[in-house]
Amino acid sequence: MNVLFCSVGRRCELLKDFRKSLGDKVRLVVTDNSPYAPALAFADVSYQVPLIHDKSYIPILLEICRREKIDAMLTLIDPEIAILAENREAFEALGVEVLVPYAETAKLCFDKYEMFCYLKEKGIPTVTTYGSFGAFEEAYDRGGISFPVFVKPRTGSGSVGARRIETMEMLKEVTAADSTLIIQELMTGVDMDADIYVDTISHKPVAVFSKKKLSTTIGGANKTISFKDADLFDFVKKAVSVFRFHGPLDMDLFYKDGQYYLSEVNPRFGGAYLHAYGAGVDFPQLIYRNVNKRENEENLGNYAEDVVMMMYDSVVIKGLKDIQDEMNTEYENCNTD
């Protein structure tokens, strides 16, 4: 199976997990805009590509898929998900399984306020969210919400710009300075997430790994502990049913007063999927079966509880000439019309 990882960045351990799981049954092809992305060192073939919004970006990816006979592709950054979803048919025409959600779902996941509105419409418990200072102020005056609250950008990823706000004066100031911020109730319950694989044939969640967050940094959890709860699995199945997911995703959740709340969905491999893999929940094998036109059976919660993940950083050391020699930057032969 030839897999294309777009915008691979620092996701070295994920590539290692694919290699460990599938051995010589997988060939890892990766792209990044930077020749210094450390995960390039763990691929079989690497390409330096333009930025994702460049007009030549999709034609270049299509040419890479032709050259490398790609069977499945995915991205590891949120802003690219909708781009791949919108071009799904062009990749599928080459026989590529595009492991991102369908376009309407991709857009909802990237726009946190639209996601809130959609979840409310579908009856999925979620975090109360306001799209503007004016809407929040009205609710506050009615006694519908109180301080402290939480603000974050309406779009984006990695928790950039997210912070706690204590007073109306501070909230008015930060929202006046940045109109992209949404305002949410401050959730005081248990912060957790779930790694989920939605089968590309049945379109149902066939694997779920849930974990409580012990420690977080900008970009996500770095220490987590596994747990299992049948109610959570039922909640996940209900939530997934109102979207059109296709492959791996990461769901951010809160648990408060006996109820689960869906906060966000990142429809890609989450940064802490490494925990799920280390506990035996093997998404690479599920992808391999789907690429080979085999439906995966539902197998929720097949892992041990109280398994702890403790994330740390490592490094890649290489000579500049080796980096330049290994990175494919030649596009003059690509058909980018």
pLDDT at 122: 98
Separation of alpha carbons 172 and 254, rounded Å: 27
The pLDDT value given to residue 36 = 96
Q: What is the C-alpha to C-alpha distance for residues 283 and 21, in angstroms, rounded to an integer?
A: 9
Alpha helix ranges (H) inside the chain: 12-22, 57-68, 78-86, 88-92, 103-110, 112-122, 133-141, 168-177, 230-240, 273-278, 283-291, 320-326
pLDDT value for 335: 56
Alpha-carbon separation of residue 212 from 81, 242, 255 (angstroms): 26, 24, 10
User: CB atoms < 10 A from the CB of 55, how many?
Assistant: 8
Indicate the SS3 state at residue 72: strand
Write down the pTM of the prediction.
0.94
pLDDT of res. 46:
97
Please report the pLDDT score of residue 218 as a whole number. Answer: 66
The predicted structure's pLDDT at residue 136: 97
Three-class HEC string of 49-66: CCCCCCCCHHHHHHHHHH
Reduced to 3 states (helix: H, G, I; strand: E, B; else coil), residue 306 is coil
Contact 62, 94 (CB under 8 A): yes
Q: Any idea of the CA torsion for 32, 35, 38, 44, to the nearest 10 degrees?
A: 70
User: Helix 168-177 crosses helix 133-141 at what angle (to 10 degrees)?
Assistant: 160
Count of CB atoms situated within 10 Å of the CB of 51: 10
pLDDT, averaged per 10 consecutive residues of the chain (337 residues), comes to 98 98 98 97 97 97 98 97 98 98 98 97 98 96 96 81 93 94 94 97 98 85 96 98 98 96 97 97 98 97 97 94 84 53
In the Cβ-directed half-sphere of 230, how many Cα atoms lie within 13 Å? 0
Q: Are 270 and 311 in contact (CB under 8 A)?
A: no
Query: What pLDDT does residue 159 have?
Result: 65
